[in-house]
Structure 1
Amino acid sequence: MIPLVVLDMAGTTVLDDGLVEQAFLRALPDATPAMVDHVRVTMGQSKIVVFRELLNGETAAQRANAAFEEAYAALVAEGHCAPVPGAPEVITDLRTRGAKVAFSTGFSRATQHVILSALGWTDRADFTTTPAEAGRGRPYPDMVLAAVLGLGLADVRDVAVVGDTPSDVLSGLRSGARVVAGVLTGAGSRADLAAAGATHVLDSIRDLPAVLEGF
């Protein structure tokens, strides 16, 4: 059994259903179609980095990021937050079988906490991390490596990384993880995830335990 599984949140373990895009449009109601397309292409990446790419100046980026966090929290408070079907059971199964579970995200710590609290998942993982805390967000490997260091693993190859975007896949590959699985419950298509180099492309996280039985 692989001793550490690093799981993305929105689109992988938590249903997105367009929430990121909705929050973005609430934060920037005058966004152009090109800006919306950029948000879609960069799903999984650090949100403050995305705003820096879209807007001129750090002040504007920080203001938009704060508005995004407020809008996302409001959507969660309105009841738009639920687990991907089967995700709670898979996470419980992994931990019962002795694996450590880490949650990574492109959101800030504040938004991550809002989601985990709404789901009752504040004690569901052994480790949680964000781009700001790890150093850099996806597609860099920092969050995976932060989990490796934080949980005291001896070898980065003793890791499975699971996410729904090409950025998730690249992050896992660059970290040296043995299993880098893409799931089809979020933003990435089968072709996108395979092209990024995923070792496995799964219909959902429900299929992960069967994959890990071979390791």
Structure 2
Amino acid sequence: FYIVDFILKRVFPKVPGLKKLYFLITNGRNRALSEIEIYGRLNCCGFTLVDSKLINNLLYFVAIKIKAPAYDHHATYGPLIRLNRVGQNGNIIRVYKLRTMFAYSEYLQETIYKQQSLQEGGKFKNDPRISTIGAIFRKCWLDELPMIYNMLTGEIKIVGVRPLSQHYYSLYPERVQQLRIKTKPGLIPPFYADMPKTLDEIVASEERYIHQYLKKPFQTDIKYFFKATYNILIKQARSK
């Protein structure tokens, strides 16, 4: 019964096509949402969470509205998602990935950053937005496979700086922001060649790569490709 309930109330509403069937059957009643999705929905509507408490297996929360809604009408909440990322010349590109976070998690990035800052490798420690299966996808690189489509369309290349969200991009110094948009983002970032630990080291790593790339594009990408491949295959470098 649990499996059927899980598929009907959690999976169907997220999958295109099945979503219409779900609302036809249930009229939207008794829809199951994860705690993270609830907070993300609140945030995208302009609310911030004040407090929450679980009482008798029911989640109660208090939120106040602090800003205008920032809902993305083109967002995708199924297993295959499209994320807004800063591309070449500052253009916003839609990067394809397999979902590793709960729906509406992208609206919580700034909130999580304020609460936790960044850990080693430039990621959040114990990020509550990542689902169990999402963690497996990340460890096995499965989540980034759809980005091959972006590579085929010419929006990204094989080696290049990581395509960043606008919030993450805003954390970079302005000089590096301007430098980043001179090249296309890449599927394999210089991170895996240099293995930096802090955000400052990540920024410095990307800055070195871009300066080298602008002088010798082909040679630079070849060098970084083989160095990153060695770290990934031999040293088991992974994105956390």
Instruction: Give the TM-score of the pair, scaled to structure 1.
Output: 0.26
Kindly name which structure, 1 or 2, has the bigger radius of gyration based on alpha carbons: 2
Q: Which has the higher contact order (CA 8 A, sep 6+)?
A: 1
Instruction: Give the TM-score of the pair, scaled to structure 2.
Output: 0.25
